[in-house]
Chain A
Amino acid sequence: MSTDGQSTPAAEGSPRASVPATRRAVIVGANRIPFARSGGAYAKSSNQDMLTAALDGLIARFGLQDERIGQVAAGAVLKHSRDFNLTREAVLGSALSAETPVYDLQQACATGLETVVGLANKIKLGQIDSAIAGGVDSASDAPVVVSEGLREVVLDLHRAKTLPQRLQILARLRPKDLAPLAPGTAEPRTGLSMGEHQALTTAQWKIPREAQDELALNSHRNLAAAYESGFFDDLMTPYRGLTRDGNLRADTSLEKLASLKPVFGRNLGADATMTAGNSTPLTDGASTVLLASDEWADARDLPKLATVVDAEAAAVDFVHGKDGLLMAPVFAVPRLLARQNLTLADFDYFEIHEAFAATVLSTLAAWEDEDFGRTRMGLDGAFGSIDRSRLNVNGSSLAAGHPFAATGGRIVGTLAKMLHAKAASTGRPARGLVSVCAAGGQGVVAILESL
C-alpha cells in the first residue's frame, strides 16, 4: 500500500540495519509564558525578552541553573535582522550555563515542533543528552523594513568613495523610497494572505460556518476549563502581569461567534465563513520544552512525561492550486502512521493546530473523503476519521492564540502532560498525535507516547 500521496520516494523501505542503535528521547516538561494578543501586554517586549523569560521559567521549574544543556534550538518567524543569533542571545541572558550551544531554526509555524523533532533525534542518536526546544514570536515588535529603493541607496553610499559619487547616489532617492514597508504574511508566490488561502480550501471542502464556530467555542471552553483545573500551573510562568492567555474568551458563545462578520474569502460571495472568531489572531508569546535521554533525566531526578516517537514533514503544491496552503499535514500523517504501523484509532489525543477552525475541519474532511483517499493518497478509500472528543481537549490556538514559532512548544508540552496523566490514570500507555501546518505549504506532524 502506498501511503505517499504526492510522488514516489526515491528509495522505499530504507535498510534499517544501517541505522545506528538509538535510544529514547523523553519530554521532561515544558514552560511557556501566557500568549498575549498583538499590541497587548507584550507590546514592548522583544522576541529575545520573551524567549529568555520562557527559558528562565523552565530553568526555575527544573532546577537547571548553570546547567550546560546539550543544545538549545528555537526560532522566530517574524525576526529582526539583528536577532540573527536570537536563541544564543536568549540563552546568554538566562540562568543556563553560558557554555550551552545553540542554533536558530525557521520553519514558519512549524518552527517550534521542528526544534522538538530535531533535538529529539540528536538525543536518540546519542549526540546530546539534554536539549531545550522552543520558539517565540512577536507580532507587536515585528520588523519594519525600508523600501528596496532606499536600501540600494544606503548600500551604494556605503561603497562610494568620493563626495560627488555620494551626491549622485543621493539624487536617486524618491519620496516613495522613504516609506517603510509594514510586515506582511502574504505568500510571496501567490500574494494571498494565509486567511485568503484557507478561505479557498474552506470553500473547496464546503466547511460550514456553524462547524467552524463550534470548534472555536470548544477551543475557548476547553482552554478555560484547563486553567480552572490548574492544568497550566506547571506549564506556564506569568510574564508582564499576564497570568492567562490574553486571547481566551471563557464566556464566548455560539451566538457571539455567529454575530461576527466574515473577514476572509469575502470575494467568494456566499461561501465566506471565516471570521475573527474562528481564525487565530496575531499573537505574542514564547514556549520551551525540556528534552533528555533517560539517563540524563534520571540522574537529576527529573520527571519523564512522554517520548518523542517519530515525526514526518510534508509540503504541498499550493502555488498551482493542487492542494490548499495549509493541507500538508493531510499527507504527512498517513505517511507517519504507515511507518509506525498505526491507525487513527490508536491515538488517545489529537492536537491539530487551529490556524483557523476551517484548517482543522478541512484536514479531517480530507481524511474522511473516500475519493481523496483513493486518488490523492493511494489508499483503498478514506484515510479515516478521529474521535472528536479526543481533539484539542485542553484548547488550542483559536483560544490560546498563535505566536507562530511558539505554538509547537505549547502543543508538545500540553500533550506530554496529558499523555502522562492519562497513562497514570488508566495504567496503560497513551499515545498522541501532533499536527502543525505552516506557511509555504508545509506541515510537520509527530507522535508522542506516554511514560
Chain B
Amino acid sequence: MADTYAQLVNSGPGRNLARKLGLPQPAVLRRYEPGQPLVAGPVVVLGDTAGADKLAAELLSWGLDVRRHAVPAEKLGAIILVLDELGHPADLEMPVLAAAGSLRDLRAGGRVITLSRPAGEASTPEAAAARQGVDGFLRSLAKELRAGATGNGVLLADGTTSTSPSALGAVRFFLSARSAFVDGQFLMVSTEDGALPEDVERPLAGKVAVVTGAARGIGAQIARTLHRDGATLVLVDIPGAGDQLAAVANEVHGTALQLDITGADAGRRIIDHAVQRHGRLDIVVHNAGVTRDKLLANMDQARWNQVININIAAQLRINQALLASEHFRSSPRIVSVASTSGIAGNRGQTNYAASKGGVMGMVRASAPLLTSNGGTINAVAPGFIETDMTARIPFGVREVARRLNSLQQGGLPSDVAEAIAFLASDAAGGINGEVLRVCGQNLVGA
C-alpha cells in the first residue's frame, strides 16, 4: 500500500535523481488536521465584480490574510478568481493574467479556485463561450500546478452568488487541506440552501450518520472522518465482516449493525436502528461495494448480478425507504461512492462501471426528490486510492495507474472521506445531484 516511489523522490538524493532524469516528482500533500490554518498563506482574490468584493470581505471575516492585488514576491496560499459576471471571452484577460503573475509565488500545497457561472445558463453565445472557457482554463491550469497545489472551480447557478452558503462552503473545502486529492474539478452550487457550521472543526456535530461497508478500507475511514467532524455513527456491513466492523465501531464510538444491504428490509432496519438507538437519522453514506472483475466475454451471471445488486440496486432500494420515511426529512443527506471507472470505463470492469455509472445516474435523478425537505444527494467518484483493493493490482499496472494524474500519486481513503464529509455537511446544502471526483485530476475520464 505504501507508495515507495513517492517516498524515494521526496528524500534528498532521490529528489535530485528524479529531477535529472525527468521522472515524476509527486509531492507530499498537505492533509487536514483539526486546528491547522485553513490555507498556508495569504489569499489573493482577483476580479472586479461585486461578487469578488463580497467574497473578499467574507474571507476577511474568517480571519484570512486577504489581498485584492498580489504583492510582488510575497508567497501566497491561494489565488481566487471571481469570474461571476463574464460576458465575453475577452473578459477573462485581466483576472487570468493577474493570476499568471502570481503563480510562481504560490506556496507548496497552494490553491487556485475559480468562481464562475455554468455555461448552460448563459443568455448569449458570448457569455456561454466565456463561461465554458473557464472550464478549459481551470482544467489546464490544474495540470500546470506543482508541489501539491490544486485548481478547482465553483459554478454558481442562477440565483446564487459568490457568498451563497454553499459557495462559501465549497470555497472553504477547496482552500482547505480536506481537498488534498481533489484537482481540476468543478462543483455546482444550485441553490441558496445550506448554512456554514457554528464550529468549523465539528461541522457534523449533532448529526447521526450511517456508513455502509464500514468494516474496512474507505468505509472505515469515512466513519473515522465523520466521527472526527462530530457525527454519531451507525456502522453497517455484512454479518461476515462483523469482527472488523466491531473494531471500527469501538474506535469511533458508534454502533455496529450487521446487515446485508441487499436484503429487502435493509432500508427499514437501518432507519429503525438509527432512530431507536440515536433518536434521528441525518446522513446516509452508500459506500458498500464490490468488484468482480472479468472481461465481458468471460462474464458470468453471478459476477454480473452480485456487482449490480450490491453496488446500485441496494442503494436504490434503501433510498426508496429513506425517502418514504418520516425520520429522514430534516435536511437529510445521501452521499454515494461512485468511481472514475463509471465515468471513463475500465477494462475488465463492465459490471462495476455499469453499477457505478448507475450510481451517478441515480444521484442526478434523485436530487429533485430531496429538495422539498432541504435534502441533498451527491456522489463522490474516487480515482486511484491506496487501499487493500488497489494494493492487489500487479506492480507495474499499479505504478502506472498511480502516476496518471496531475498530482502523480494515489489518493488516500481519507481524501475520499473528506469529500464525503463535506457533501454531508450543512455547508453543502446548496449542492445537489453532483458528482465530485477525488482523483487528483486523473488523465482519463474528463
Counting CB contacts under 8 A, is B68 at the interface? no
A60 pairs with B241, CB closer than 8 A: no
B-contact 0/1 string along A97-114, CB 8 Å cutoff: 000000000000000000
Min distance, Cβ A317 to any Cβ of chain B, angstroms: 45
Known: A56-B250, A233-B259. A238 touches B239 (CB 8 A): yes
A204→B240 CA distance, assembly (Å): 45
A302→B277 CA distance, assembly (Å): 6
A165→B91 CA distance, assembly (Å): 104
A56 pairs with B246, CB closer than 8 A: yes
B276 pairs with A57, CB closer than 8 A: no
B-contact 0/1 string along A216-236, CB 8 Å cutoff: 000000000000001011101
Among A60, A61, A66, A230: residue with most chain B CB under 10 A: A60
List A contacts of B88 (CB < 8 A): none
List B contacts of A63 (CB < 8 A): 249, 253-255, 277
List A contacts of B296 (CB < 8 A): none
Among B239, B240, B276: residue with most chain A CB under 10 A: B239
Min distance, Cβ B220 to any Cβ of chain A, angstroms: 13
Counting CB contacts under 8 A, is A65 at the interface? yes
A233 pairs with B253, CB closer than 8 A: no
A142→B256 CA distance, assembly (Å): 32
Counting CB contacts under 8 A, is B245 at the interface? yes
Q: Which listed residue, A233, A243, A301, touches B276 by the CB 8 Å rule?
A: A301
A60→B246 CA distance, assembly (Å): 5
A60 pairs with B240, CB closer than 8 A: no
A-contact 0/1 string along B271-290, CB 8 Å cutoff: 00000111100000000000
Q: Which listed residue, B249, B263, B278, touches A60 by the CB 8 Å rule?
A: B249
List A contacts of B259 (CB < 8 A): 233
A301 pairs with B241, CB closer than 8 A: no
A236 pairs with B250, CB closer than 8 A: no
Interface size of A as a range: 20 to 34
Known: A301-B276, A301-B279. A237 touches B253 (CB 8 A): no
A310→B119 CA distance, assembly (Å): 74
A236→B240 CA distance, assembly (Å): 10
A-B pairs with CB below 8 Å: how many? 65
List A contacts of B243 (CB < 8 A): 53, 57, 237-239
Counting CB contacts under 8 A, is B242 at the interface? yes
B-contact 0/1 string along A55-77, CB 8 Å cutoff: 01101111101100000000000
List A contacts of B278 (CB < 8 A): 301
Chain A residue nearest to B277 in the complex (CB): A301
B250 pairs with A60, CB closer than 8 A: yes
Counting CB contacts under 8 A, is B247 at the interface? yes
B-contact 0/1 string along A301-313, CB 8 Å cutoff: 1110000000000
Min distance, Cβ B249 to any Cβ of chain A, angstroms: 4
Min distance, Cβ B333 to any Cβ of chain A, angstroms: 22
B277 pairs with A243, CB closer than 8 A: no
Min distance, Cβ B335 to any Cβ of chain A, angstroms: 23
List B contacts of A415 (CB < 8 A): none
Counting CB contacts under 8 A, is A95 at the interface? yes
List B contacts of A65 (CB < 8 A): 249-250, 253
Chain B residue nearest to A237 in the complex (CB): B242
Known: A301-B276, A301-B277, A303-B276. A60 touches B239 (CB 8 A): no
B239 pairs with A236, CB closer than 8 A: yes
A66 pairs with B253, CB closer than 8 A: yes
Counting CB contacts under 8 A, is B371 at the interface? no
A-contact 0/1 string along B231-273, CB 8 Å cutoff: 0000100011111011101100111111110010000000000
List A contacts of B277 (CB < 8 A): 63, 301-302
A243→B258 CA distance, assembly (Å): 12
B241 pairs with A238, CB closer than 8 A: yes
B242 pairs with A236, CB closer than 8 A: yes
Min distance, Cβ A444 to any Cβ of chain B, angstroms: 29
Min distance, Cβ B15 to any Cβ of chain A, angstroms: 43
A62→B254 CA distance, assembly (Å): 8
Chain B residue nearest to A94 in the complex (CB): B250
A60 pairs with B279, CB closer than 8 A: no
A57→B408 CA distance, assembly (Å): 40
Min distance, Cβ B385 to any Cβ of chain A, angstroms: 26
B242 pairs with A57, CB closer than 8 A: yes
A62→B273 CA distance, assembly (Å): 11
List A contacts of B254 (CB < 8 A): 60, 63
B-contact 0/1 string along A10-52, CB 8 Å cutoff: 0000000000000000000000000000000000000000000
A238→B254 CA distance, assembly (Å): 18
Chain B residue nearest to A58 in the complex (CB): B246
A-contact 0/1 string along B304-336, CB 8 Å cutoff: 000000000000000000000000000000000
List A contacts of B239 (CB < 8 A): 230, 232-233, 236, 238, 243
List B contacts of A236 (CB < 8 A): 239, 242
A243 pairs with B249, CB closer than 8 A: no
Min distance, Cβ B223 to any Cβ of chain A, angstroms: 12
Chain A residue nearest to B254 in the complex (CB): A63
List B contacts of A232 (CB < 8 A): 239
List B contacts of A234 (CB < 8 A): 257-258
List A contacts of B260 (CB < 8 A): 230
A60→B249 CA distance, assembly (Å): 5
B-contact 0/1 string along A236-274, CB 8 Å cutoff: 111100010000000000000000000000000000000
Min distance, Cβ A413 to any Cβ of chain B, angstroms: 14
A-contact 0/1 string along B374-397, CB 8 Å cutoff: 000000000000000000000000
A75→B260 CA distance, assembly (Å): 33
Interface CB pairs A-B, < 8 A, 12: A59-B246, A59-B250, A60-B254, A61-B256, A63-B249, A63-B277, A66-B253, A233-B239, A237-B243, A237-B256, A238-B239, A302-B277
Which B residues fall within an 8 A CB radius of A?
235, 239-243, 245-247, 249-250, 253-260, 263, 276-279
Which A residues fall within an 8 A CB radius of B?
53, 56-57, 59-63, 65-66, 95, 230, 232-234, 236-239, 243, 301-303
- Given A61-B246, A61-B256, A301-B278, 17 more A-B residue pairs with CB atoms under 8 Å apart are A56-B246, A56-B247, A56-B250, A59-B250, A60-B245, A60-B246, A60-B255, A63-B277, A65-B253, A95-B250, A232-B239, A237-B242, A237-B243, A237-B256, A238-B243, A302-B277, A303-B276
Of all A-B residue pairs in the complex, the 10 with the closest CB atoms, nearest first, are: A60-B246, A60-B249, A95-B250, A60-B256, A63-B255, A237-B242, A65-B253, A243-B240, A57-B246, A238-B242
